[in-house]
Amino acid sequence: MSVEEKLKLLKEELEKIGKLNSSLALISWDMQTKMPKKAIEQRSAIIEYLAGEMFLLKTSDKMGAITEELLNNKDSMDDVQRAMVKLARKEYDETKKIPEQRYREFIMAAAISGNAWHEAKVNKDFEIFKPHLKKMIDFKREFVEYLGYDNNKYDTLLNQFEEGLTVEKLDKIFEEMKIGILELLEKIKKGNKKVDKDFLLGYFDKEPQERFSNFVLKKLGYDFEAGRIDESEHPFTTSFGNKDVRVTTNYNNPELTYALFSAIHEGGHGIYEQDIPDEFVWTGLDSSLAMSIHESQSRFYENLIGRSKEFWEYFLDYAKYEFKELKDVSLEEFYEAINVVEPTLIRTEADELTYNLHIIIRYEIEKDLINGVLDIDDVRDAWNNKYKEYLGICPSNDSEGILQDIHWSDGSFGYFPSYSLGNLYGAQMLNKMKKDYKDMYLDIKNGEFSKVHNWLNGNVHKYGAVYSPSELIKKITGEELNPKYFLDYINEKYKKIYLQ
């Protein structure tokens, strides 16, 4: 059999897996947006069945044999083919280490746990979720044993979101980032400038929020013929192929811009997924290789563009049309209000500086949970104490504390660092984009976003999972990830707001 024929066979197998994966994604989307309460047990059984079928395809002898033969012919393949084979083999090797029965049990438990998290959050009661969280931690600790580890058990989980990332590397990156942020926070505190954001708080009708979010997303390049916006407790993006990429937001927040910035964030993920080339769909290459790169795109749209003054030079008048409450607010006042630096309890409401402290808190807790250093009974206290230590505030209930994020409910330990890494990758990309495209912010001021979109597509989106984050950032900017760009960006931005 020729290499071409073997590649064709592999693609057929990957397509089956991809279609099952898309079906599972559609089912979970429904679960988080529309599903009636009583459906949870039956729904979890459907998920368990489909995930089990996927497990069998990923670990089949056929998959093992084709990927092995293809790996022996690496030199006769191009970058894309090689990446596809490498990824399929990695999935095969890793999934095969986990016993099928335990995998199925995990999938079932994760679905039920997600539901319990939702109930616990609504009731502001961590006790409802605690036994499920414990189960998720135990599963992940067990899986780490199957998968193996060198120095730190948590490394194995980090690797699932970013290959090659270790606690050792991350500690160094986060330390540099943390020092830079704390220094700037100290200066801001000493500067003693008060920024008013009270006009953003209050009750706002859903309809104008929805209209405005849709309008902004359309302008940014999110394709509503290949996607839609719905509502969920925790905003998210999901894709069933590049022609159906859905985002959600939440209009119930007492802060006017929460739903909008969540929609822009998820829209950034969505634009990425819609840009995936047709030939990558259901090949395993149809997303980024690492969540940090995905987050670099969502955070790029949300912050580097969405919280810039130029963006609001264009959009503020439209916002005033929808929200009469803003009629006397100046551009300067609005810009400062959406960039106010203050400790918040909720990660997704945080400013660009303190946001990363929320991530460091989660990172430290996860590491300790997975390594068995922190006990489940002490996790809520650990959370509250770290908020006091890092941000000087303490949650008054679990819903605004340990229950605020969905991630732990399905066992996604190791994901949180991706957000901060995404901030760092994004700022490094921005630095390069501004060199390539000098009128960038001038165009944004005029409501022209297609060139920004084209740049991101041409440098990031169109490659899907072909390159690792370190390969990609080197290819784009000529150097490894360097936190300096993010620190330069925040210093320049916030000094203008707070220290001039």
Beta carbon of residue 298, minimum distance to Zn ion (angstroms, whole number): 4
Helix or strand holding residue 231 (H, E)? strand 227-231
Q: Quick one: 160 or 298, whose CB is closer to Zn ion?
A: 298
H-run or E-run covering 342: none
Q: How far is the CB of 295 from Zn ion (least distance, A)?
A: 5
Q: Are 365 and 375 in contact (CB under 8 A)?
A: no
Between residues 298 and 344, which has the closer beta carbon with respect to Zn ion?
298
Closest separation in Å from C-beta 413 to Zn ion? 16
Residue 128 to residue 116: CA distance in whole angstroms: 7
Angle at 131 between CA 126 and CA 132, to 5 degrees: 90
Please give the Cα distance from 74 to 397 (Å, whole number): 55
CB atoms under 10 Å from CB of 63, counted, come to 23
Closest to Zn ion by CB, 272 or 311: 272
Closest distance to Zn ion from the beta carbon of 99 (Å): 32
CB-based contact 264:396 (threshold 8 Å): no
Smallest separation, CB 145 to Zn ion (Å): 30
**Element containing residue 247 per DSSP (H, E):** strand 245-249
Would you say 298 or 339 has its CB closer to Zn ion?
A: 298
Of the candidates 400, 189, 428, the one whose C-alpha atom is nearest the C-alpha of residue 300 is 428
CB of 235 to Zn ion, least distance (A): 8
Which residue number has the CB closest to Zn ion? 298
Nearer to Zn ion, 57 or 263 (CB): 263
**Rounded Cα distance, 379 and 383, in Å:** 6
CB 483 within 8 A of CB 183: no
Beta bridge partners of residue 255, listed in sequence order:
201
Residue 198 CB partners (closer than 8 Å, separation 6+): none
Whichever of 274 and 298 has its CB closer to Zn ion, that residue is: 298
Q: Which residues are catalytic?
A: 266
Q: Which long-range contacts (CB under 8 A, 24 or more apart) does 203-211 make?
A: 203/254, 204/251, 204/256, 204/323, 204/325, 206/251, 208/322, 208/323, 209/251, 209/256, 209/259, 209/260, 209/322, 210/251, 210/259, 211/322
Shortest reach from residue 265's CB to Zn ion, in Å: 6
φ/ψ region of 163 (left if φ > 0, alpha if ψ in -120 to 50, else beta) reads beta
- Residues of this chain that interact with Zn ion (CB under 5 A) are 298
Residue 230: its H or E element: strand 227-231
Smaller CB separation from Zn ion, 44 or 253: 253
